[in-house]
Structure 1
Amino acid sequence: MSDWLLGNEPQVRLAVFLSVFALLLAAQQWAPRRDMALGWRRLLSNVSLVVIGTLLLRIAFPVVAFGLAIRLEADGGGMAALMPDWLAIVGGVVLLDCAIYWQHRLLHKIPLLWRLHRVHHADVGFDVTTAVRFHPIEFALSMAIKLGLIALFGVPALAVLIFEILLNAGALFTHANIRLPATFERRLRWFLVTPEMHRVHHSVHKDETNSNFSFHLSLWDRLFGSYRDQPRDGHTTMQIGLHEFRDSREQTVWALLVNPFRKH
């Protein structure tokens, strides 16, 4: 099974992404947590950014995360040479998940990086399309960091593939505008980031924006002191986005692409 996954990496990732995206789009219509009357222009802008970002990655990087892991694995060494295969795979996924937590915190902490990341936070809505709304330069920066980690620690190729699939599917889930049973959600967030937990991170209040940085495992926020349980204004009435980018003109593709280069 692992050999088949490794040999069909692009198709597997795309199939999982499209399936989860379609499923959550339908779930949002069936059981939305908040009002979703936000329009097709915003949806088009959000999806356009991921298309542009993906094209940039293909042009800027001769090899992406999975390809680098394959090459390093063929040369021997790395995590797989130091521990059993199963432990190297689990350890690789956890390592990358912890790394992306700290990357996320730095994107908020360092002003120059925040200019890139605020494109994501400038969304005045919170739904599954928000998950793909990142500036193309942030896409490239994230890939460069990921490549560095894979090269430094020798993360197994299968661990990279699993993490990439979880990253895409998990981001879609945590941004989905879906209503989960309250008891189930409270139990689930002890292990995984839920939409209810991550929505707090998209609040207009800065102290709430600077909380709940985790992508998959929620333990990082609890462990490193950045966990916030609930938004002060309540989930159905809280304001999403950034105060300075609420006008509809700020939500066009062009406005989002030039956003990091503007003075604010």
Structure 2
Amino acid sequence: MYEALTSAWASVFYAAVILFALAELLVPAREASRALDRRWSTNIALYLLNMLLHRFLGPLAAIAIGYGALAGEVGLSVWLNAPAWLAVAVGILVLDLWKYVEHRLMHGIPLLWRVHMVHHSDTEVDFTTAERHHPLEVVVGTIGFIAVTVAFGIPPLAVALYALTATIVAVFSHANIQIAGAVDRPLRWLVVTPAVHNVHHSAERVETDSNFGLMMTLWDRLFGTYTPDSPETAARRQLGLEYFREARAGWLDRVLLQPFVPASLLRPERRVEVPGNGRATQPPAE
């Protein structure tokens, strides 16, 4: 089953992309104010670069997952003294909790924020933003994921199911789609909806440093980092980072160099011209 789920990942990903791209055309939550060709070309290029990177990191991940399958002495099934299905369920929870912790670390540690801010520098948010990650962040994230998989002996089936589900939710939560409140309110108790994640992409630091969950809102609610949204606040919310608003800042070469912009130009108390990158006003983390 694990092999079947692994091979199905690409099909699931592209199906989700097509579905939510069509939904954005039919029921958009916000009108795009920037040319899609520039944003999409950069985000898709980052996706392709990271796919190539995954080809090199894939064997390491496979070894880690295989270790999880063979970890009869230290795996979740042994620790829990529970049936396989419960070990899979707990494994999924552990992985999602780790992604929550990792996301908080990305915002809280200046060095990690430098690579993660590429994701937040998108001044519009749609389904392509889900794949807007600097290659350095992909490396860090993969190493962390492997470490957690090995440390807890997470079953391969849990890893595969989590990868499939988290992929769908990530594209969904970034999609620029309008969901009726009667549907969104109960749904956000289970998963991260576009309205919930839209808060996280705010230009306001107090909002950006909240709603860290990748798949479930459980962790934000449990650890006090959940910020609710409303149509009123969503209507006036500005997205992205204040210091990466110039059109040229969205080109692929500039995006890849964003982690190396001097820290002195990214301070909230200074309004300075960043060469090719707009004005520095208020970063969400430093």
Q: So what's the TM-score if we normalise by structure 1?
A: 0.93
| Counterpart code for 1:94 | L
Paired residues for 1:212-251 under 5 Å: 212-230=211-229, 234-251=233-250
Q: Deviations over 1:108-145 (max 9, x none)?
A: 00000000000000000011001000001101100000
Paired residues for 1:57-136 under 5 Å: 57-60=54-57, 62-64=59-61, 66-74=62-70, 76-77=72-73, 78-81=75-78, 82-136=81-135
CA RMSD of aligned residues (A): 1.6
Paired residues for 1:171-190 under 5 Å: 171-190=170-189
Q: Deviations over 1:14-45 (max 9, x none)?
A: 00000001100000000000002432111010
How far the C-alpha of 1:57 sits from its partner, in A, is 2.8
How far the C-alpha of 1:61 sits from its partner, in A, is 5.5
Query: Is 2:6–2:160's contact at 8 Å kept on the other side of the alignment?
Result: no
Q: Does 1:11 align with 2:7?
A: yes
| Counterpart code for 1:108 | H
How far the C-alpha of 1:75 sits from its partner, in A, is 5.2
Once the two structures are overlaid, the 10-residue window that deviates more, 22-31 or 165-174, is: 165-174
> Following the alignment from structure 2 to structure 1, what is the Cα–Cα distance between the partners of residues 118 and 247?
14
> Following the alignment from structure 1 to structure 2, what is the Cα–Cα distance between the partners of residues 58 and 219?
32
| Counterpart code for 1:42 | R
Once the two structures are overlaid, the 10-residue window that deviates more, 92-101 or 79-88, is: 79-88
DSSP-derived class of the 1:256 partner: helix
Match of 2:42 among 38, 45, 49: 45
Partner of residue 23, structure 1 = 19
Between the aligned residues of both structures, percent identity stands at 36
Q: 1:228 to 1:75 in 2, by over 3 A?
A: closer
| Counterpart code for 1:70 | G
> Following the alignment from structure 1 to structure 2, what is the Cα–Cα distance between the partners of residues 133 and 48?
9
Q: So what's the TM-score if we normalise by structure 2?
A: 0.86
| Counterpart code for 1:47 | I
Higher relative contact order at CA 8 Å, sep ≥6: structure 1 or structure 2? Answer: 1
Q: 1:90 to 1:60 in 2, by over 3 A?
A: closer
Query: Is 2:57–2:142's contact at 8 Å kept on the other side of the alignment?
Result: no
Q: How many residues align?
A: 259
Once the two structures are overlaid, the 10-residue window that deviates more, 71-80 or 130-139, is: 71-80
> Following the alignment from structure 2 to structure 1, what is the Cα–Cα distance between the partners of residues 25 and 57?
37
How far the C-alpha of 1:11 sits from its partner, in A, is 2.6
Q: 1:80 to 1:111 in 2, by over 3 A?
A: same
How far the C-alpha of 1:47 sits from its partner, in A, is 1.1
Task: Name stretches of at least 5 consecutive residues in structure 1 with no aligned partner.
Answer: none
DSSP-derived class of the 2:234 partner: coil
> Following the alignment from structure 1 to structure 2, what is the Cα–Cα distance between the partners of residues 75 and 215?
27
Q: 1:199 to 1:224 in 2, by over 3 A?
A: same
Query: Is 1:53–1:140's contact at 8 Å kept on the other side of the alignment?
Result: no
How far the C-alpha of 1:184 sits from its partner, in A, is 1.0
Task: Name stretches of at least 5 consecutive residues in structure 2 with no aligned partner.
Answer: 267-286
Query: Is 2:106–2:112's contact at 8 Å kept on the other side of the alignment?
Result: yes
Partner of residue 199, structure 1 = 198
Post-superposition, which runs of at least 4 consecutive aligned residues in structure 1 deviate over 4 A?
A: none
How far the C-alpha of 1:72 sits from its partner, in A, is 3.4
Query: Is 1:200–1:208's contact at 8 Å kept on the other side of the alignment?
Result: yes
| Counterpart code for 1:72 | G
Query: Is 2:71–2:153's contact at 8 Å kept on the other side of the alignment?
Result: no
